[in-house]
Amino acid sequence: MEAKCIGCNEVLSHREVTDPDLQPEPGNVSVCLNCGAVMVFCDDLSLRSATMEEIGYFMNNNPKFRASLEAMFSVPISKRH
């Protein structure tokens, strides 16, 4: 399956940063390495923009997601309480 970023139309490849056998599942998050768009896989594995609430949830509950965004933008992101 080929997924494209909804922000810049770049082909997304999870193989670049994770286990090559890992396949996306509904609700998984994806970040475009080209433009930084944050997206969520839908039930049919199409992509949609993540809501601000989802981004906040991922930032506060997923250390790998948070670290990836901080590395991508080269700035620490303060945790919201």
pLDDT digits (tens, 9 = 90+) for 13-52: 755 545 566 778 899 888 888 888 999 999 998 899 999 9
Q: Are the C-beta atoms of 55 and 48 separated by less than 8 Å?
A: no
Enter the DSSP assignment of 45.
S
Average pLDDT, the chain: 81
One DSSP character per residue, 58-79 reads HHHH-HHHHHHHHHHHTS--PP
pLDDT for 53 beyond 90: yes
Position 6 pLDDT exceeds 60: yes
Mean pLDDT value across residues 48-61 = 92
Mean pLDDT, residues 66-73: 80
Whether 64 and 74 have beta carbons less than 8 Å apart is answered as no
| Res 49: pLDDT | 95
Q: For residue 57, what is the enclosing H or E element?
A: helix 52-61
Characterise 2 by phi-psi region: left (phi > 0), alpha (psi -120 to 50), beta (else): beta
